[in-house]
Amino acid sequence: MKTLTPRLAAALVVAAIFALAASAAESLSVLLQKGIYAEETEGNLDSAIKIYEQIAAESAANRPLAAQAQYRLAVCYQKKGNKEQAISTFNDVLKQFPTDVALGQKAREALAQLGQTPSDDLKIRRVATLDGTPLGVTPDGRFAIYQPLARPMDRSIYEIETGKIWATLKGDPENTVRGVFFSPDGRRTSYRYAGVIYVVGIDGADPKPVYRMDKDTRAMPMGWADDRTMWVNWWSGEKWTYGTVKFVGKLDIETGMLKEIARLRAHENEGRGLGLSPDGRYATLFARPNLTGPAQLWSLALDSGHVHTLVEKEVSEPLGWFGTSLIFTRESDHVQEMWKIAVKDGKPADEPKLVRSDLRTANLCGVTQDGSVYYSERTPNWPKTELWVIEGFLAQRNQPMWVQIPVESVRASDSAIFDPKFGVEATIPSGGAIKSAHQLISSYYGRRRIWLSIPGVATNQIIMSYGPRVADGFPAIARPTSLSTDEIAAQLGENTRRRMAAGQGNSGPDLKFRKDTLVARSIGNNSVFSGVADFTDKGQPWVAFFSEHYSATTWASAVLQVKPTDFDKALPEFRRLSDTIQLR
């Protein structure tokens, strides 16, 4: 008998381990199918729960399998009417498997059906309504700086938590207030006006001129080094021109003395400083090294004056810092993108990474240290502007498609919906209620979704979505009553399949519309298209009610999915809602 060499013995051991692992993975997959059979075919939920629990406990090396078992476990709890365990387990799916986008979307939808907000969901919160345009927020999220509409040369200081306007820094038609930065202790601010750099209390009291420019010097605050000194950039010469030498340095606010740190050509620094890095060692600059070239982001070492390029491709707007990453925007085909670049020792630590690619018309104002993103929107009673925040957005490992908004912003009363942002109104079915409201994060001016409960049916929710009119609406909207049932079915099917499939990685269900239910009509200045369709999802038959509404500027839809046995009870409630939807 031959003795095995050490190398051959080791190879056999490794092969055996892989064989056992493959066998285990296969057996767990078979076990999952047994659980699905027990759940969906036999209706034996207790048996299915035991199987899913076993898989979840034993499949640590197979995360997709474990995720499926955890999700199906939550579904079983929901079917048994064990609401609390279902909610907890659906939230576990979101926490434990954040990279499984399709399964996460299903878990979120299930939680919405249970009237719950996912524990890892973000919230959109309106923080202020201002008579002007927000320009930025401080890194700690305490203050917002805005430009009053009536006097665009002024700058006002708004405290977000209290709603107090601390001061309005006054400019004049020929001199706009610029360079507003807060001292580290939060008690003072800097600004430049009419050739003078001032320091003033945040309440506007006792403005102190700390540097007065002459014909040979121009200067702009860039941020505070400490409570006594500020970083500024300045240039010499009667006329600012490209190629003029520009300086960056420290300004002692007690003595008015400038200390040079670095020299740059004028067009290398456009004066749009981002202030300091979180560690206080670097100033970040919005730069354009070539007169006709793209804008870039640079870092300037404040101890040595050395400059490093952080982002050399086109930069639209710098937003601020989150942790050790610099956040900025780019524009691509008129769509705004949010990007980040990791920075270490003033140099890029990695390639720039895309955060979101579809922000469209969002008016971003800045980011804060906790990862919240601030943006502004015009209100229906313009010129007032609303300041909103997406809380902790950058801190999320996987930014969700939808974020929660306050129900109060879309509810007129317990029985009525009214969203002034889009001019959408409707009557809630008798005994129903708004369960939750969400907004699509890819466009802050875009689609909203309301989850409505209705009484008397097992699947008791209507999903009402709405937003600005887009190009995918009905091509024959101006002549709704002349459309054939085939045209209505084709357009309803295309729109609704796409929306039902969003986030699930498939093309949507095969909808079979009942031709006798397809209707196209006009209600006021709105065109309305509705119908009923049958479809199958995972072997389960369903009936769905669809209603699409269009005005010249706005679109809305209502969808209700029920079991065939609930059809007669659900249809009247759905029609009551659909018939009351009005778009401006």
Q: How does residue 208 score in pLDDT terms, banded at 50, 70 and 90?
A: very high
| Confidence at residue 477, expressed as pLDDT on a 0 to 100 scale | 45
Looking up tokens 């959408």 gives 424
Q: Which of 377-391, 462-476, 528-542 has the lowest mean pLDDT?
A: 462-476
Q: How does residue 425 score in pLDDT terms, banded at 50, 70 and 90?
A: very high
Residue 287 or residue 236, greater confidence: 287
Query: 15: which residues sit within 8 A by CB, 6+ positions away?
Result: none
Mean pLDDT of the 275-294 span? 77
| Confidence at residue 219, expressed as pLDDT on a 0 to 100 scale | 82
Residue 15 or residue 248, greater confidence: 248
Q: What is the largest CA-CA distance in the chain?
A: 101
Phi then psi for residue 559, to 5 deg, are -135, 135
With a cut of 70, say whether residue 185 has pLDDT above it: yes
CA nearest 210: which of 233, 235, 191?
191
Residue 411 has a CB neighbour count (10 Å cut-off) of 18
Query: 320: which residues sit within 8 A by CB, 6+ positions away?
Result: 139, 274, 326, 327, 366, 367, 368
With a cut of 60, say whether residue 35 has pLDDT above it: yes
| Confidence at residue 202, expressed as pLDDT on a 0 to 100 scale | 93
Q: How does residue 536 score in pLDDT terms, banded at 50, 70 and 90?
A: confident
Q: pTM for this one?
A: 0.72
With a cut of 70, say whether residue 104 has pLDDT above it: yes
Residue 407 or residue 497, greater confidence: 407
| Confidence at residue 243, expressed as pLDDT on a 0 to 100 scale | 47
| Confidence at residue 44, expressed as pLDDT on a 0 to 100 scale | 93
Distance CA 166, CA 376 (A): 20
| Confidence at residue 177, expressed as pLDDT on a 0 to 100 scale | 94
Conformation bin of residue 194: beta by default, left when phi > 0, alpha when psi is -120 to 50 = left
Residue 165 or residue 286, greater confidence: 165
Mean pLDDT of the 344-363 span? 83
Long-range contacts made by residues 298-305, C-beta under 8 angstroms, separation at least 24? Answer: 299/343, 299/346, 299/347, 300/248, 300/261, 300/262, 300/346, 301/346, 302/225, 302/231, 302/261, 302/276, 305/248, 305/261, 305/262, 305/263
Highest mean pLDDT among 297-311, 352-366, 436-450: 297-311
> How far apart, in Å, are the Cα atoms of 115 and each of 84, 109, 434, 436, 542?
11, 10, 9, 7, 21
Buried b (16+ CB within 10 A) or exposed e, 523-559: eeebbbbbbbbbbeeeeeebbbbbbbbbbeebbbbbb
| Confidence at residue 443, expressed as pLDDT on a 0 to 100 scale | 62
pLDDT tens digits for range 124-182: 888 999 999 899 899 889 999 999 988 999 999 999 999 999 999 999 988 999 989 99
Q: How does residue 582 score in pLDDT terms, banded at 50, 70 and 90?
A: very high
Structure tokens at 453: 């409960």
Mean pLDDT of the 467-471 span? 70
Mean pLDDT of the 44-51 span? 92
Residue 84 or residue 11, greater confidence: 84
With a cut of 80, say whether residue 365 has pLDDT above it: yes
Distance CA 425, CA 407 (A): 14
Mean pLDDT of the 200-210 span? 93
C-beta separation of 368 from 390 below 8 A: no
| Confidence at residue 300, expressed as pLDDT on a 0 to 100 scale | 85
Q: Which of 28-42, 268-282, 521-535 has the lowest mean pLDDT?
A: 268-282
Residue 516 or residue 505, greater confidence: 516
Residue 124 or residue 191, greater confidence: 191
Secondary structure of residue 142 in the 3-state scheme: coil
As a whole number, the mean pLDDT across the chain is 80
Highest mean pLDDT among 79-93, 154-168, 388-402: 154-168
Residue 68 or residue 23, greater confidence: 68
Q: How does residue 433 score in pLDDT terms, banded at 50, 70 and 90?
A: confident
With a cut of 60, say whether residue 26 has pLDDT above it: no
Mean pLDDT of the 529-537 span? 87
